[in-house]
Amino acid sequence: MEESALDRYLKEVLSHVRFKDVHAEIRRELTTHAEELREHLRSLESPEPLGGDDAGRIDAMIVRKLGAAETLGRQFDLAHRPRFDWTLAVLVGLLLSVGLSAMGKFGLLGRQGLWSLLGLGTLVGLFFVRPAALRRASLGIYVVTFLLCALSLFGGASVSAFHAGQPYLSVGGLQIKIVDLSVILFAFALAGLLQAQATKTRIAQAGLLIASLAPLGGYLFAGSVYPGVLYFCVTLALMLVAGCTGSFVRTYGIMGGLLLASTVQSRSFVSAVDLSRVAGAERHTDFIFASVSDSSLVFGVLAMTAGVGLVIHLASRVRELRSPYLRTLLAGTAALFGVEVLWSLLSNSGIGPVPVTGVNFPFLSYGGSLMVVHLGLIGIALGAYRRRTLAS
């Protein structure tokens, strides 16, 4: 079958656009515009069906109206040129550098360096993953994470006296605190599941509400107050940015708030008597900011500035993205890091309560799997900004 003039034109336009990820979207945009022009030109012609020669003539007219292929292609190339978010990379690099320097005095530099390298590999891998693939994986990630949480809760092991009752998942001798890790994975999954919530049937909306509340109930059942609060705040941010209906968000907020209020007790937080003991034992994790500040005021100020700057920067990038899914995902990431950084700063400063489950400062605290997943989120954020002009 002979290629039409319009198809040849589209190919020539796209040949000047170097960012391949936007080709499908540009083709859809130009094809839609061409169909609108075709209908307009047909309305000016005879109402009789067009023959082969007439259709070819109209295609040629459409191509002329669209303009020179090279000029249009270069305009698209300039508009969709991918950009790297250097500010985000520098902020994360600063936190990693301060954290690695602090690990030296704990004898954990080698381990933290290894986890950081694994995390950077994850970052690079997710940086190139297309958003459509991430969104399609949402349901699978939710189900697998739920099963892992159930497995760690009923078949895991608790490895710390100060985290009694907090489940860890043992994998080949490696202890993974799946509760903390699952907050990120559930948030990632819900960012995709909550898309177009307002257009779903009532049954589907009820299912989404149950799916949103189930992890929160699980955290509180396990006595994990900090992951529960973190998950609750992040999920609210996801719902607000995803465009969920007001009634849906209110129902989740009320039910989730009641769950938190009914289960959070004084024993969910470290008592004043045990605080000094916990602070001494967890200087490399929960109290890393206090440890860094005590060692060097300059490093402490740098860590605080970079942490707060990271949250503000991520939040500011949300409005620059055209894709509703990527906006939701980035808003959830900003909320996640925001709660982690703020609570860590407050608890390390003696202002806020210290939960029994512990609070990690992103990229600063010692943490294996959590470091990998945090850096993975940064890879997704960098990839989202790279694709900021895509609408889908």
Residue 264 lies in a domain: yes
237 and 141 housed in the same domain: yes
pLDDT score of 224: 78
Residue 183 lies in a domain: yes
Hey, what are 215's tokens?
Answer: 């992890």
Torsion of the alpha carbons at 122, 134, 325 and 119, rounded to the nearest 10: -10
Length of the chain: 392
**Alpha carbon separation from 198 to 205, 243, 248 (Å, rounded):** 8, 7, 9
Residue 392 lies in a domain: no
366 and 225 housed in the same domain: yes
pLDDT score of 39: 82
Q: Using an 8 Å Cβ cutoff, are 241 and 284 in contact?
A: no
Please, which pLDDT band fits residue 352 given cuts at 50, 70 and 90? low
124 and 266 housed in the same domain: yes
From 51, 79, 107, the end of a domain falls on 79
Domain that holds residue 21: 5-79
User: Is pLDDT of 180 > 90?
Assistant: no
Residue 297 lies in a domain: yes
User: Is pLDDT of 40 > 80?
Assistant: no
Percentage above 70 pLDDT, the chain: 83
Across 75-84, average pLDDT: 89
Residue 391 lies in a domain: no
Residue 168 lies in a domain: yes
Q: What is the mean pLDDT of the chain?
A: 84
Q: If phi over 0 gives left and psi between -120 and 50 gives alpha, with beta otherwise, what is residue 201? A: beta
273 and 350 housed in the same domain: yes
347 and 227 housed in the same domain: yes
106 and 59 housed in the same domain: no
- Tally of domains within the chain: 2
50 and 135 housed in the same domain: no
130 and 193 housed in the same domain: yes
Measured from the Cβ of residue 362, the count of other Cβ atoms closer than 10 Å reads 26
pLDDT score of 91: 97
pLDDT score of 238: 96
Q: Which residues of 203-213 are buried (b: 16+ CB within 10 A; e: fewer)?
A: eebeebbebbb
53 and 132 housed in the same domain: no
Residue 195 lies in a domain: yes
pLDDT tens track for 118-142: 999 999 999 999 888 999 999 999 9
User: Is pLDDT of 31 > 50?
Assistant: yes
220 and 300 housed in the same domain: yes
40 and 125 housed in the same domain: no
Residue 275 lies in a domain: yes
From 49, 79, 109, the end of a domain falls on 79
User: Bridge-partner residues for 136, per DSSP?
Assistant: none
**Alpha carbon separation from 321 to 88, 133, 318, 388 (Å, rounded):** 15, 18, 6, 4
CA nearest to 363, candidates 349, 353, 377:
377
| DSSP assignment of 53-80 | HHHHHHHHHHHHHH--HHHHHHHHHHHT
Percentage above 90 pLDDT, the chain: 43
From 50, 79, 108, the end of a domain falls on 79
171 and 55 housed in the same domain: no
pLDDT score of 202: 86
User: Is pLDDT of 283 > 50?
Assistant: yes
Across 215-241, average pLDDT: 89
Q: What is the distance between the alpha carbons of residues 219 and 300, in angstroms, rounded to a whole number?
A: 31
User: Is pLDDT of 162 > 50?
Assistant: no
